[in-house]
A and B are shown apart, each in its own frame.
Chain A
C-alpha cells in the first residue's frame, strides 16, 4: 500500500462518517480500519519496520 492509497481510504472512511452513510453496525469496522491505516502511515514514515529488521540483523551479528 502507498501513502496516497492509505490517505484516500482514510478520507473515504471520514466522509462516510461525516455524511452519516456509515451504518452503526459498520462503525467499529470503519474505526478499526482507520486505526490500521493511521498506524501504517506513522510506522512507514518512521521506518519502524526497517528499524526492527535492522535491530534483528544487529543481534544476529
Chain B
C-alpha cells in the first residue's frame, strides 16, 4: 500500500499553511487523500462482530482481535449495498448467508471510503467463501484434536442404550426441515411403533446454538429418567452451518452427558465435533429415526423368536410327554395283565390247596369218627357186653379186689339195666 503521507506529503503542506480549517474542510481533505490513495479495491481479512440487514443493505462491523489476548486491535464499519449484495447472492448462492454471520472470519474485497459526516467505512464488493470455510475447517480440526487429547471420544457411548428407544428428547428447531423429517419417520413408521418425542427448541445455526443447546441439555439432565436418549438434529444448510456444532464446550458436554446422545446434524461428507463425541452420529435426521426404529424392530424380532421357539418347545414337550405317556401306559397294562394272571393263578392254587386241605381234614375227621364210633360204649354194649358200676359210688368196676360180698352193683346193657347183689367173688378169671 502506498503511504499517501510519504508520497506527496500533503499533511506537511497543511501544517505549513498555518490557517485554521473547519472540520468539514479537514474531513474533505482526508477524503481526498484517501480517495486518491485507495482507487482500487483490495482484499482484507477480518472478523464480523455484528451484522445488520436493513432496507436491502447490509451493515457490518468488522474487527480484528489479538490472537493470544483476544483484545480488540482494529475496528471498521462496512456496508454491502443492495446491488453488491444481489451480486454476491448470485455468485455464491446461499453460502453467502452462512458467511455473513457474526463471529465469522471473512476475506473481503473492499474499497475504502470516507464521508465528511459519517467518517471512515468500507464498501464490500466481494467475499471469498473458501477463506471462511478454510478458517472454520482449521478451527474444527483444532477442536477435534483437543477432543482427542481430552479422550472425549467414546465417552458418551458408554451410556447403555435401552433395547427399545421410545422416550426421546429432541434438540432441534421446530421449523428445521430435519426435525420435520425426523417426526415423520418416527410417527408414521411401518411397524406402528409408538414414540414419545419431546422437543427442546434450540437454534440450529449461528451464535445462539451453543447457549441454547447447553441450556436444553441442563433441562434434560434434570429429568434424565424420563428419556431413553437425546437426539440432536438439524437438516439442510451448508457445511458452514455446522460450524456452531464444532465447539469444544458442546463436545465436552455431550461426551460427559448421562444419556446416550444421537446426532443427525451432519453433512453427507463432513462430521462435526458434536458428531465425534456422540453415542452414534448419523448423516441425516431420517437416518437417526431409522436407527431407532430398527433397534426397536430387533427387540421385537428377539421377542418373536422366543415366541416361536416356545411354541415349538411346548408342542415338542406335549408330543413327547404324550408319547412317553402312551409307552408308560402300554407297560403298565402289561404289568397289570401279568399281575392279574399271577393273581388268578395264585387264587386257583390257593383254592385248590384249600380244597385239598379240607378234604384231608374231612377224611381225618371221618376216620376219627369211625374210630371213635367203634370205641363208643354203646357200640360195645350193643355187641353184648355190659358195664358194671358200684351202685353206691357209681364207679365202674374193673377190678374185683375191692368188691365185697353183699354189695349192691349196677349193670348197664345196651337197652336195660340190672340191680344185683354180689354173693360170690371169684378173683381168678
Contact = CB atoms under 8 A, between A and B. Distances in A.
29 contacts: A4-B163, A7-B163, A13-B310, A14-B309, A17-B310, A17-B313, A17-B314, A17-B317, A18-B309, A18-B313, A24-B317, A24-B321, A27-B317, A27-B318, A31-B310, A34-B307, A38-B303, A38-B306, A38-B307, A41-B300, A41-B303, A42-B300, A42-B303, A44-B194, A45-B193, A45-B296, A46-B192, A46-B194, A47-B194
Nearest to A41: B303
Interface in A18-51: 18, 24, 27, 31, 34, 38, 41-42, 44-47, 50-51
A46 B313 CA distance: 27
Given A3-B299, A31-B314, A10 B193 contact: no
Contact of A3 (B164, B192, B313, B314): B164
A50 B164 CA distance: 17
A56 B235 CA distance: 37
A31 B311 CA distance: 9
Contact of B302 (A7, A44, A50, A51): A7
Nearest to B195: A47
Contacts of A18: 309, 313
B219 interface: no
A46 B163 CA distance: 15
Nearest to A24: B321
B303 A7 contact: yes
Contacts of A50: 194
Contacts of A53: none
Q: Interface extent on B, as a size class? A: 20 to 34
A14 B317 contact: no
A10 B306 contact: yes
- CB-based closest 7 A-B pairs: A47-B194, A17-B313, A3-B164, A10-B306, A41-B303, A38-B307, A46-B192
B194 A45 contact: yes
A7 B310 CA distance: 13
B2 to A, nearest CB: 75
B332 to A, nearest CB: 17
A4 B313 contact: no
B162 interface: yes
A44 B4 CA distance: 79
B194 A51 contact: yes
Contact of B306 (A3, A11, A42): A11
Nearest to B193: A45
A34 B194 contact: no
Interface string B277-297: 000000000000000000010
Nearest to B163: A3
Given A3-B299, A38-B303, A50-B194, A45 B164 contact: yes
Given A3-B299, A24-B321, A38-B303, A46 B310 contact: no
Contacts of A44: 164, 166, 194
Contacts of A45: 164, 166, 191, 193-194, 296, 299-300
Contacts of B321: 24
A44 B162 CA distance: 14
